[in-house]
Structure formats: structure tokens, C-alpha cells
Chains A and B, each alone.
Chain A
Amino acid sequence: MSSVGLIISLFIIGAGLLWLLILSLTGREVERRIVFLFIGLAVSVPLLFNITFSERATPIVLDVFDKLEDLPPGSKVLLSYDYGPSMAPEVEPMSNAFLRHSLAKGHKLYLMALWATGQSLVATAVDSIIKREFPDKVYGEDYVNIGFKAGGTGVLNVIITDFRKMYLTDVDGLDLDSLFIFDGVKSLRDMDVLISIGGGFPGVKEWVLFAGAPGNIPTAGGCAAVSAPLLYPYYPRQLLGLLGGIKGAAEYESELKKRYPRFETMPTPGIKMMGPQTLAHLVVMAFIVIGNISYFISRRKRS
């Protein structure tokens, strides 16, 4: 079924390309709705026919994976949900993969959010992943959700010196001192690795500038593809690795499946979304080429 889908999608792109080329050669502009139609097809066909590709983790993704892998069980991993629903389809596969990897390795997980909308997304992740897939993990011992605090970079400035000055309780109102997971944890400096998922402000960059670099704490990130080029300058010294866009998520998921047999059947939205993204890129490239041919023809006619 997958190969049939692949042939259909390639045929659509090929036919579309030819048709647009002919239109452009005859000097006719392609209407916007035709462009939209092709993008709609390019996105929906791979989803309908479940077209997926094999992914290989690139060094920038592998560095994050290996960091979590090399830490001894019981290490402290802080995962910050710095995104809202608009970015969730692109970055949620990353946060889910980090959750699964950390818990499977036996790390202690500290969940928080610098975005108000992130808190509900943490709650969803706890219900849909931790409680279902890791029923043996105990709240307050293996993981904790300390929720959202307003203040953005101000929050980071405070918790790098003392958690309790900003977070007196967890998200359910339990005193941090009553939670076993917070025994011996004073500030962010007690964490073994910080991971921020997001692509806006405050996000990965702020975690590097206000927590990772000043506290000398290993920091990793995951962000929307559009923000990734802005974060590359921090890799590999201030940022130990980065998952850029759905491609980064797909690479991490494939690595997780490869190394952990228990995740063989886990949902892999990152890998699944690479099909539509690849075909959509092909369509966009086709439009760029056709648009330029049309431009050169019209310029020659004018001259």
C-alpha cells in the first residue's frame, strides 16, 4: 500500500510540475488556489498512504541522545515545555521522545514550563505517556511537574540560585520539601542536564544564556525548524545538541526505536510527518523552478 501511495504522490507531483511548466511557457500565471491544491495533496497523500522513510540520526541529534544514554540511572533531567499549541505538532514529538528516553533510562524527570500554555501540555504528556507507558514510575520520586511560573528569563535567573524562591510547591500544591525527588536539589546547578523544547521567547536560547552557560550545566534543546538556524551558533559548546524541526524529532525517534526494543511499537509522529514534509518540499521546489522559468521567459519577451 505504501509503494502505491508513493507512486501516486510522485505522479501527482510530476503531473503538476508538467502542467505548471506548460502554463508558464504559454505565459499564463498559475492561480494561488492551484498552488494551494497541490500543497494540500502533497501533505495529505503521504498521510493517507502512510509513507515513511528510514531516518539516520545526525551528529547534532546523536549528541543529545548519547548524553541521556551515557548518564547513569537516577540522573536528574529537567525538561521545560516552552511552547504553545501552535508549535506543538512540530515539537511535541521531541518532548515525548525525551520523556520516554529519560524514563526508560531510569533518570529522574523534572517537568516545568516557561510558557503558560506549556503547563497544560505537560499535564497531557503526564497522562498520555508517563501514566500509560510507565505505570511503575512514582510521582514525586521518579518524576515531578512543577508547572508554569510567569517571568520568563526572570524565572531562570532565580531558579539557577534557588528553586524554592520561585517554586514553593509543585503544580498540585505539594510542598517541594515533601517530594522525595527534591531531596538534595537546591537549584538548576543540581541538574545533570537541562532540555528546553520550544522555538519562541523564552526558549532554548534563554536557557543557554541564563542557565546553561552561567551555571555550566549541560543544556540541550528542541525547536521548530524555523528557529534552528538561530541556535546553531551555540552548538557544540553552549548547547550540547539540538533537535531542529520535525526532522530532528524523526531522527531521535528512529534512534530510540533502534536502541530500545520496547519502543518498537511506540507512536512515531516525527517519522510519520517526514513524508508530508518531504513531498511538500518537493512541491515548493517545483514551484520555485517553474516560477523562475516563467520569469525568464517573460523577461526575454520584454527585452
Chain B
Amino acid sequence: MKRQLPLALVFIFGIFCIFQYFVPHESSEWIYEFLLAWIYIIGILTLALGIWSLIRVSWDKVQHRRPNWQYALVTLLGLFAMITFGFDYCRSFFSSEGLRNYMFVHFFDYILIPIQATMFSLLAFFIASASYRAFRARSLLASLLLLAALVIMLRFNPYLGFVGEYMEQLATWLLNVPNLAAKRAIIVGVGLGIVATSLKVILGIERNYLGRD
């Protein structure tokens, strides 16, 4: 029963959603919207599950002094601090007052934004280092990739004068023709893969999502 019930539910709703797409009747639309509401409900439950899981894993690290347990402690402190400030020190649970809480706004503006922006901007340094060490013309394909990368970067360059216009045209061609063709092929391939995997899940061939128990 533990396995048959989820399999039956997936089969029924999976088949229904496939056929519903081709039936533009009012009742069909209504059932579809009803099912969509369930996505929202399940989403909220998974959010709660995610928070519980984060607390459990982090607390376990802190309790047993596992390697880098200090980071887990910071995670827990950050989580509870933001929840407390977000609820305006537990004074407003059902309004957005907490979002204007002084500490909540300051933690977001002066801790979260600079931290995340710094992490993202560090990429420029690592890309430069990687480009020096790894971007080598070892083969014909690697050379083509190298040339394409140089053309794309050069198109932004205003120092090049009239050469820049040709570079821009070449870069636009590279993006609109070879890149587009490859991307479309990948998208179509991924789409077909999704269809195949979905059918396997609906028909009960793929059962990994049920877990091992």
C-alpha cells in the first residue's frame, strides 16, 4: 500500500494533466486550477520541511563539534535572528510589518547584499586566472572555442574603432547562428528527455522518487 498508493496517484494525475491540456472545457480548467492550488500547499509544507532539516543538520554539527561546526552555528543564529526580526520581535505574525523592521532591513541591506555581491564579483578574478591557465589552443575545437570567446569579448570593446563594428557583426552572427542552433538542439533534446522521464514516472517504471523504504 505504501508504494502502490503513490504510484496510483502519480498515474491518475499524470494522465489527467496530459489530456487536460488538450481539453479546453470549463470543468477541465477548473480541475486543473484546483490541482495547481495543491502545488502551493505542498510548496509550503516542503518549506517547513526544509527549515526543519536545516536546523537538524546544523544542530547535529554544533552538538558533536564536527569539522567547521562554527559555520553551522552562524547559520542557526542567522536563521533565528531573521525569523525574529521578520516577525517584528514576534509582535506581528499576520502582517508585513516585520519586513520594515529596522534590524531586518539593515541585516538585509548591509550584510546579505554586500556578502552575495562580493561572492559573485569574485568570479571575475577566478575567470581571469582560469583563462590564463586553462584556455589553451590544444586542438582544433579548443582553438575555435578560444577564437569565439575572443570575438565575443572584443565586441564590447570601444577602443577598436571601425574594427569593433566588424567584431560586433561577427559576434552577433556567432550568437545568432551557431550558438542559437546548438542551444535550440539542446532545448529540444532536453524537452524530449523530460517527456521520456515523465512517462517513465507516470507509468511507474522510474520509482526512485519513492525512496528506499
A residues in contact (CB < 8 Å) with B: 10, 30, 32, 35-36, 38-40, 43, 53-54, 58, 84-90, 117, 119-120, 123-124, 147, 150-152, 154-155, 157-158, 161-162, 165-166, 171-173, 229-230, 232-233, 247, 274, 277-278, 280-285, 287-288, 290-292, 295
Contact A165 B33 (CB under 8 A): yes
- Per DSSP, chain A at the interface is helix
Q: Residue of A at shortest CB range from B158?
A: A53
Whether A43 lies near B128 (C-beta < 8 A) is no
B128 partner, pick from A86, A117, A274, A283, beta carbons under 8 A: A283
Task: Give the complex CA separation of A280 and B120 in angstroms.
Answer: 15
Complex interface: chain B residues within 8 A of A120 (CB): 99, 105, 108-109
CA distance A40 to B132 in the complex (A): 15
Does B49 make an interface contact (CB < 8 A)?
no
Q: A156 to B170, alpha carbons, bound, how many Å?
A: 37
The answer to the question of B140 belonging to the interface, with a C-beta cut-off of 8 Å to chain A, is no
Closest partner residue, chain A, to B172 (CB atom): A58
Q: List 20 A-B contacts (CB under 8 A).
A: A85-B115, A88-B117, A151-B43, A157-B36, A158-B33, A161-B33, A171-B96, A232-B183, A277-B156, A280-B124, A280-B128, A281-B157, A282-B157, A284-B128, A285-B150, A285-B153, A287-B131, A288-B132, A291-B135, A292-B136
Determine, out of B1-9, B52-60, B65-73, B173-181, the stretch whose residues face the partner at the interface: B173-181
Task: List chain B positions with a Cβ less than 8 A from chain A.
Answer: 29, 33, 36-37, 39-40, 43-44, 47, 95-96, 99, 105, 108-109, 112-117, 119-121, 124-125, 127-129, 131-133, 135-138, 146, 149-150, 153-154, 156-159, 172, 175-176, 179-180, 183-184, 187
Which residues does chain A contribute within 8 Å of B117, judged by CB atoms?
85-86, 88-89
> Contact partner of B37 among A39, A89, A150, A165, CB < 8 A?
A165
> How far does the alpha carbon of A147 sit from the alpha carbon of B137 in the complex, in Å?
49
Of the residues B39, B128, B137, B154, contact of A292 by C-beta under 8 Å: B137
Shortest B46–chain A CB gap in Å is 9
What is the chain A residue whose CB lies nearest that of B138?
Answer: A295
The answer to whether B40 and A158 have CB atoms under 8 Å apart is yes
- Given that A230-B183, A233-B187 are contacting pairs, would A86 and B132 also be in contact in the complex, using a CB cutoff of 8 Å? no
Contact assessment for B116 and A86 in the assembled complex, using a CB-CB cutoff below 8 Å: yes
Q: Assuming the A-B contacts A39-B125, A86-B117, A158-B36, are A288 and B96 also in contact, with contact meaning beta carbons closer than 8 angstroms in the complex? A: no
Q: How far is the CA of A3 from the CA of B156 in the complex (A)?
A: 19
A39 to B137, CA, bound (A): 23
Contact between B156 and A281, CB atoms less than 8 A apart: yes
Give the CA-CA distance A285 to B133 in the complex, in Å. 12
With the chains together, A39 CA to B127 CA distance in Å? 10
